[in-house]
Structures are given as structure tokens and as C-alpha cells.
Amino acid sequence: MKKRIVITGMGTVNPLGNNVNDFWTNIRAGKCGITLNDRFDTTEYASKIAGLVKDFNASEIIGKRESRSMAHFTQYAVAASMEAMKQAGLAKGEFDEDRAGVVLGNGIGGFEVIEEALEKIFTAGPRRVHPMTIPKMITNEGPANVAITHGCKGPVCSIATACASATDAIGHAATLIQAGKADIMITGGTEGGVTKLGIAGFNVIQALSTRNDAPEKACRPFDKDRDGFIHSEGAGILVIESLENAQARGAKILAEIVGYGSTCDANHLTAPHPEGTGAAKAMEVALKDAGLKPEDIDYINAHGTSTPTNDPLETKSIKLVFGDYAYKVRISSTKSMHGHCVGAAGGVEAIVGVKAIEDNYVPATINLDEPDPECDLDYTPNVGVETKVDTIMSNSLGFGGHNGILIITRFKA
């Protein structure tokens, strides 16, 4: 039998809150964290809206000296990991550091660091580039800084599978524990890509919503009037452990990870497979890994990006796997409230899944006023539902055809 993997801590920084409690309170209230983008001058940008982290002071949380050597994506990861480790009751030096590791998903890295360096080259010359440019911008510096913060000396790496990065990171971290390589892993995802380059790059492929006059209404998963996703930032971090390790130290167990599926469409760089078969296969793999049937899933946190392409194809993939039960299972996309956190999405949404189990509550898909005829399932429109939730599926589908699926269930001893 494979080792059981449990969740003992959670932390987040995202457009709806800088801790799990505030985030979940706002999710339950149906609030939207998407606003006009005031990070930089958007005059020449088609999309002028974003999901921005607000009221976040890295110097106060992490330390002035330490935070200066981190890009935004790393600051978010370190801050969220501190919350998660505190909840897990794991203080630095009080656990076996050689048996603790970090796997974080990230899609973009330190884009703002790259932009600053290029501007310096063009205005002052290459000798004026800051010496911390490379250490700040590369994606592995997120997990490396988390490892340094907490003293984790086991496996430490970054996973880059676009929008599936965080989900794949959690799956990989769980696999490391099951393989006996670690007892404790800090995992999830982080992203800080709301920059000039990040927004411009998604703008030119017409992936972003341009509903600039009503930011809070712009993210409309499964709605016929959706016009693109909202680029967001933040981090969603979990502490996961082997059941034996958690029980030996008397940790409070929040939930259990029972299934993980990962596939690739191997079809197109930016578009999902036209029949939804890659995502469907990943769901099937996750269900098999969990030893569950489709009817055992109470809630699906959909990838639900609010793009014309994703939503009907994800709907099709759910139907392929769930059959008639697809019309009975509760589904929602909380991206409608916090936007698309790209490499952090699966981490943020895994937290939603754990809280849904904890509260027996399925959050809403807000702004779903008139469903696309091709999107005909129960997406919990506009108002969340109090209902029994024991087992959830969290879907993450990324550019390159990457599909990552997690199944999380209520812990039973």
C-alpha cells in the first residue's frame, strides 16, 4: 500500500487576501479581487485590469534585508509558506531538516527583475545591471528561498508546467514522500507576473479580458459573454506529510491527498485538445490513483479560465469522464473571484478545496449570468451552496497541453 499523504498547513497571498482566513471569507462572500491595474501605466495596453496582491508589505513579513533579494513571486511564496508552517506547527530546527523538502510550481519567474535589468542596460549600460538580477529572476529561487527560510535540506526544486505548475508541484511532492525521499514537503505554487511584459505577452495573443469598464465583472467562466482570463498573482502553499509523520508529532490533519493525475495533450502549444481527451485522461488517472469512482467526487474546482476556448473543452472533458453524473456533480471556478494566478493557480485552488471540505460548502462561480450553450453543467452560478463535501477534484490545465489533477478528501483515521 502506498503511503498516505495528509495536509497539515496552508498559506496564501492572493488578490482576495493575504492569509487563508481572509481569502476564504471573501470567497464565501462572493467578492471579486479583480481591479484596474495600477501597477504601471496601461495606456497602451488592451487589458487594463488584473488580480493584484494588495496591502502586502514584504519587509514587515519577511524582513527588509531578506525581501530586497527576492522577486515578487519569491516574496509571495515565502510569506505564504510562513503561514502554512505556522499552522502545521513546524518551527525551524524542530523537525528533521534532512527529511523536509520544497517543491513549488511557477510559470514565469521574476519578470519585473528582467524588465528592470533591460531598462538599465538600455539607459546606463550593461555594467549597471544589479548583481542580484540572475538570483532574483530564475524560477528555482522561489523554492530555494523557502528552503532557506525554514531550513529544509531534503529535495528542493521548481516545476514549470504553465498553469498546471502548482498542481504538478503538489503531485510531485506527494510522490517524493510516497517514495520515501522525505517526510515533510512544502509545496504549491507562486506567481508574480503582473508586469509590463507579462500583460503585453498575453495581450498580443488576445488571451486577456478587455472588459476594462467593469473589472469585477470581467472574469466570467462558462458565461456566453466571457472574453478572456484575468492575469493574477500570488501564492498558494501547502504543508504535506506522510500520515505516520503527522500522527507521530500530534499534528492536526486538515485533509488527505488521495489522487494525482498528470498528462500532456501533445497537440498544441496554447490550445487544449479539441476533444478534451488529455484533460479527461488526467482525471481518469487521478481517480484510479485514488481508488475512486466519478460518483465519489462531490465538488470539482474547475480550471475555468473564462476564455472562449478553455471552458467548453473542459466541460467536454468532464463529460467524457463523469458521464451522466457530470450533470449532478457540483462544479465551480473560483477564478471568477481571484482571477488566474497562472503558476500559483493550483495551489490557491487546492486551498479552496480543503476549505470546501472543512465547511461543507461549494463556492460560487460569480458573473455566470447566461451560460454558454456548450457549457451546460452545474457550475454553481453566483451563489455558493451549503452541501456535504467529502471529496473534491481540482483541475489545472496549462499551455503546452499540460494537465494536472488533484483529488483531496476528508481525512479519516
CA-CA-CA-CA torsion for 355, 88, 187, 203, nearest 10 degrees? Answer: 50
Per-residue DSSP letter, 15: T
Please give the average per-residue pLDDT across 17-21, as a whole number. Answer: 98
Give, in order, the Cα–Cα distances in Å from 299 to each of 36, 173, 295, 350, 388: 31, 23, 10, 12, 10
Residue 413: pLDDT band (50, 70, 90) is confident
pLDDT of residue 25: 98
Please give the average per-residue pLDDT across 43-56, as a whole number. Answer: 98
pLDDT of residue 117 exceeding 80, the answer is: yes
SS3 396: strand
pLDDT of residue 318: 98
Helices 141-150, 72-88: crossing angle, 10 deg rounding:
40
Residue 270: pLDDT band (50, 70, 90) is confident
Sequence-ordered list of residues with C-beta below 8 angstroms from that of 57, at least 6 positions apart, any chain: none
Which residues, listed in sequence order, are joined to residue 398 by a DSSP beta bridge?
402
Please give the average per-residue pLDDT across 345-359, as a whole number. Answer: 98
Please give the average per-residue pLDDT across 287-315, as a whole number. Answer: 98
pLDDT of residue 271: 83
Which residues, listed in sequence order, are joined to residue 208 by a DSSP beta bridge?
229
SS (H, E, C) 317-328: HHHHHHHHHHHC
pLDDT of residue 1 exceeding 80, the answer is: no
Taking a C-beta distance cutoff of 8 angstroms, is the pair 95, 239 a contact?
Answer: no
- The structural domains of the chain, ordered by start, are 5-255 (3.40.47.10), 260-409 (3.40.47.10)
pLDDT of residue 62: 97
SS3 413: coil
Per-residue DSSP letter, 393: E
How far apart (Å, rounded) are the C-alpha atoms in residues 286 and 407? 7
Taking a C-beta distance cutoff of 8 angstroms, is the pair 363, 384 a contact?
Answer: yes
Looking at every residue in the chain, the average pLDDT score rounds to: 97
Give start and end residues of each alpha helix (H) in 154-309: 165-178, 196-204, 243-248, 277-290
- pLDDT of 188-238, one tens digit each? 999 999 999 999 999 999 999 999 999 999 999 999 999 999 999 999 999
How far apart (Å, rounded) are the C-alpha atoms in residues 305 and 310? 7
End-to-end CA distance of the chain: 15
pLDDT of residue 93: 93
Question: What does the longest C-alpha to C-alpha distance in the chain come to?
Answer: 63
Active site amino acids = 163, 303, 340
According to DSSP, the β-strands at 5-13 and 34-36 are: unpaired
pLDDT of residue 269: 85
- pLDDT of 151-172, one tens digit each? 999 999 999 999 999 999 999 9
CA-CA-CA-CA torsion for 22, 183, 302, 339, nearest 10 degrees? Answer: 40
Helix (H) or strand (E) holding 88: helix 72-88
- pLDDT of 386-409, one tens digit each? 999 999 999 999 999 999 999 999
Please give the average per-residue pLDDT across 35-64, as a whole number. Answer: 97
Please give the average per-residue pLDDT across 106-112, as a whole number. Answer: 94
Which string of b and e fits 136-160 if b means at least 16 CB within 10 Å? Answer: bbbbebbbbbbbebbebebbbbbbb
